[in-house]
Amino acid sequence: MTDQIIAYNKKFVAEKGYEKYITDKYPDKKLAVLSCMDTRLTELLPAALGLKNGDAKIIKNAGGLVISAFDSAMRSLIVAVYELGVEEIMVVAHSHCGACHMSFDHFHHEMIARGVKEETLGTIRQCGIDLNHWLEGFKDTPESVRKTVETIKTHPLMPRDIKVRGFIIDSETGALEEIL
C-alpha cells in the first residue's frame, strides 16, 4: 500500500495538485478542533463544519480525548494557542465511536498474542505508566466530551479567554449536538 501512495504522490507533485491547498501555518478562523481519528470523519468533519484547508488546526486521536493534562493532544492545543493564534477550541466526539467501551484488557490479550512480553508490560508499569488508564476508552460519550472540555478550560497553561465548547457529531449525517 505504501508503494502505491508514494507513486501517487510523485504524480500529484508533478501535476502540481498541491497548488489549491497552499496556505500558511496560521488558521484563518483562529480555531482548533480536537476530534477522533475515525476514518468516517476524515472528510465528513471538515465538510460538516464548513472548514476548508487553512481554516483550522485539526488535532485527532483515538476518541478525541485529553486523557491527561500533559498528553500530546493538550500539548498541541497549547501550541495552537500560543504559537498559531487560536482563540477558540471545539472538542468534537462522534456517534458510534470505537473508543467507547475500549479497555486495556482487550489490548492486553491482543498484545500478548502479537508477541509483546508480560515483562515488557511490567517494565512499562514500573516506569509509572498506568496502562489501564492510558488505553481505557469511555462509556458515556457526552460525559467524555464534558471531561475533555473541562480539562482544557482548567489547564494551568490555558489562557482563560480561550473559548472551549464540546460537541458530538453524527458519524453519518454530520449533524452537531452541543454538549453543555
pLDDT at 133: 87
Per-residue pLDDT tens over the stretch 95-139:
998 888 888 888 999 999 999 999 999 999 999 999 988 888 888
| Angle, in degrees to the nearest 10, between helices 118-126 and 104-113 | 130
Asked if residues 138 and 144 have their Cβ atoms less than 8 Å apart, the reply is yes
Torsional class of 85: left (φ above 0), alpha (ψ -120 to 50), beta (otherwise): left
Q: What pLDDT digit, counting tens, does each position of 48-70 carry?
A: 999 999 999 999 999 999 988 89
Q: Is the pLDDT of residue 41 over 90?
A: yes
What pLDDT is recorded for position 99?
84
Q: Residue written as cell 466530551?
A: 145
What is the average pLDDT across 78-91?
98
Share of the chain above pLDDT 90, in %: 87
Q: Which of 95, 89, 36 is nearest to 63 (CA)?
A: 36
Which residues lie across from 168 on neighbouring strands?
93, 177
| Average pLDDT of the chain, as a whole number | 95
- Model confidence, pTM: 0.91
- Asked whether residue 142 carries a pLDDT value surpassing 90, the answer given is yes
Taking the C-alpha atoms of residue 162 and residue 144, their distance in angstroms, rounded to an integer, is 20
End-to-end CA distance of the chain: 42
Quick one: pLDDT at residue 98? 82
For residue 93, name the pLDDT band (cuts at 50, 70, 90).
Answer: very high
Largest separation between any pair of C-alpha atoms in the chain: 52
What is the pLDDT, as a whole number, of residue 137? 83
Contacts of 108-117 with C-beta under 8 Å, sequence gap 24+, read: none
Judge whether residue 87 has pLDDT over 90.
yes
